[in-house]
Chain A
Amino acid sequence: MNLKKPGSSKPEPGSYQPVMPRNWWLQHRYFQIYMLREATVLPLLFFIGCLLYGLYCLSLGETQWQHWLAFMAQPWVVLLNLLAFSASLFHAKTFFELFPRVMPLAPPGLMIAGQWLATLLVATGLVLLLGGWL
């Protein structure tokens, strides 16, 4: 179908074109929470950095490994990693809640519970495996 409207392809003369302000994401709570969700990547980056650094130290030998363990025990590092942990939990929560809407396979409540259960199982399995109990 065609459309006949004077100046339909471009804004009509005299129409006011709004501009998005730079701080649009501060404008209301919904956008702030969205930005917080996006920002969870920052502490997680720190956590991944720690892990990679640990692997690198392991390859250098015992002394370096001890050095890394000491580094990881420092209060500010523990604090940052706790932050990363809670950020990942927050992100998981938002993700688990969105997932049933994108893939409506079962009632949303059931799917959300299932995802948390799966997370718990995988985490416990990993702890047991790496801890040498399995």
Chain B
Amino acid sequence: MSKTINIARYNPQTDSRPQLQAFQVESDNSTSVLDALLQVQQQDPSLGFRWSCRMAICGSCGVMVNGIPKLGCKTFLRDYPDELTVSALAHFNVEKDLIVDMQPFLTHLAAVKPYLINDDQSSQPHRQTPAQLAKYQQFANCINCGLCYSACPQFGLNPEFLGPAAITLAQRYNLDSRDAGKTARMPELNSKNGVWGCTFVGFCSEVCPKKVDPAAAVNQGKVASAGDFIISMFKP
């Protein structure tokens, strides 16, 4: 059957703001929003959007579907009425059509030192029990799609806020039994754009396509940050 997909188009050379444009696409039980966009691109090759793996693991194809952040490849037209609206991810600068500037997101990721920090020079693997692995495993499943940033009003209001994915990544390494870098990461988390920027709206976890639960990570970060503060009070 045929459905209408309204796409927020934006060409930086000619437009001052995004404008909706309607397209007709053929849809069956398995047609994803990404499939629909690929169909539209056949009608209009100038349509810009990112995609690659089409199996919800590369994190490229995040868009707003009827105002909710979604992965295009994991959202199906069968779940929508005859008409739906697709626009660029919220809270990021729009570069062209559905393509946003992901740079702030990457800068925030890099800011939390997302790698193992330790002095250990051994050439043997660490021991890490399944229980120790389970402590951070869920937070290591983030695919960097950025949907949580589009769901976070605090990031929308303050782009300097580290945001859900970056704090989750910090937490992922802080909870790793092989890591000794928590003290290096805490200043960033304790700062005014760190964990305390979060008001626990919780929508980030709602939209996360990989069930990473960034809201939990951020609020675990608050507990860690508070602990850090209390310890610092008792230090000379």
Q: With an 8 A cutoff between CB atoms, is B140 at the interface?
A: no
Q: With an 8 A cutoff between CB atoms, is A39 at the interface?
A: no
Q: With an 8 A cutoff between CB atoms, is A63 at the interface?
A: no
Bound-complex Cα distance A104 to B15 (A): 49
Bound-complex Cα distance A27 to B87 (A): 15
Q: How large is the interface on A (under 10, 10 to 19, 20 to 34, 35 or more residues)?
A: 20 to 34
Given the interface contacts A98-B219, A102-B219, does A18 sit within 8 Å of B200 by beta carbon?
Answer: no
Bound-complex Cα distance A73 to B140 (A): 56
A24 touches B153 (CB 8 A): yes
Given the interface contacts A3-B106, A31-B203, A102-B219, does A11 sit within 8 Å of B156 by beta carbon?
Answer: no
| Chain B: interface residue total (CB-CB under 8 A) | 37
Q: With an 8 A cutoff between CB atoms, is A53 at the interface?
A: no
Given the interface contacts A5-B103, A25-B153, A98-B200, does A18 sit within 8 Å of B94 by beta carbon?
Answer: yes
Q: With an 8 A cutoff between CB atoms, is B176 at the interface?
A: no
Which of A5, A17, A31, A98 is in CB contact (< 8 Å) with B153?
A31
A16 touches B17 (CB 8 A): yes
A115 to chain B, nearest CB (A): 16
A124 to chain B, nearest CB (A): 29
Q: Which residues does B use to contact A, with CB under 8 Å? A: 10, 12-13, 15-18, 67-68, 90-95, 101, 103, 106-107, 110, 153, 156-157, 199-203, 205-206, 213, 215-216, 219-220, 222-223
A30 touches B206 (CB 8 A): yes
A11 touches B101 (CB 8 A): yes
A24 cross-chain contacts in B, Cβ below 8 A: 153, 156
Q: With an 8 A cutoff between CB atoms, is A129 at the interface?
A: no
